[in-house]
Amino acid sequence: MEKVAWAPQGVSADWELIAVLVPPGPITKSQWLDALADRVTDMAMNEQPNLTKWASRVLGHYVGNTDDPEEAGQFFVTGNWNLQEHLTLAMYEGDPFPCLASENVDARTAIENSDFVYWVELVRAFVSSSSLD
C-alpha cells in the first residue's frame, strides 16, 4: 500500500521531528509513534554506522545506548518516554488521535529535508530543559 507523508495537527514541534509515512486513513497515536520509529530507523540505517552510537551519547540520559542503526527507532522513539511525554504535552489542541492521515505537502518536505543527525538534534532541543542547548 502506498504511504502518505503526514504529521498530527495541533502539535507545537518541528515537522521534521514528527512527520511520518503512513497508509492513508485512520491512525492512532500508537501507529504514529511506530511510524516515527520506522522513519528514525530508516534514517539511521542510511547514515554512517557510528552515528547511532553518537546519538546514544547525545540522548543518553533519555534513552538506552545502542550502536545498531536497526535499533534506532526502538531506542530513540518507542523506548524514549521523555520524548513521548514532551510530544503529548506539545499537543496544544488536545489529543488529536484517532484521526485520518492524508498526504500533506509540508510533512513530505519535512521528511525529505531532514536526516538522522538533524532529527537527533531536534529531539535534544525539544526535550531539553534549557533553551540554550
**pLDDT tens per residue, the chain (133 residues)?**
799 999 999 999 999 999 999 999 999 999 999 999 999 999 999 987 678 888 888 887 656 677 889 999 998 999 889 899 999 999 998 889 999 999 999 999 999 999 999 999 999 999 876 544 4
Q: Which residues pair with 27 in a beta bridge?
A: 99
Residue 28: per-residue pLDDT: 97
Residue 64: per-residue pLDDT: 67
* Cell numbers that stand for 112 in this block: 525529505
Query: Which sign does the torsion angle of CA 7, 79, 85, 119 carry?
Result: negative
Helix axes of 50-58 and 116-127: crossing angle, nearest 10 degrees: 10
Residue 48: per-residue pLDDT: 73
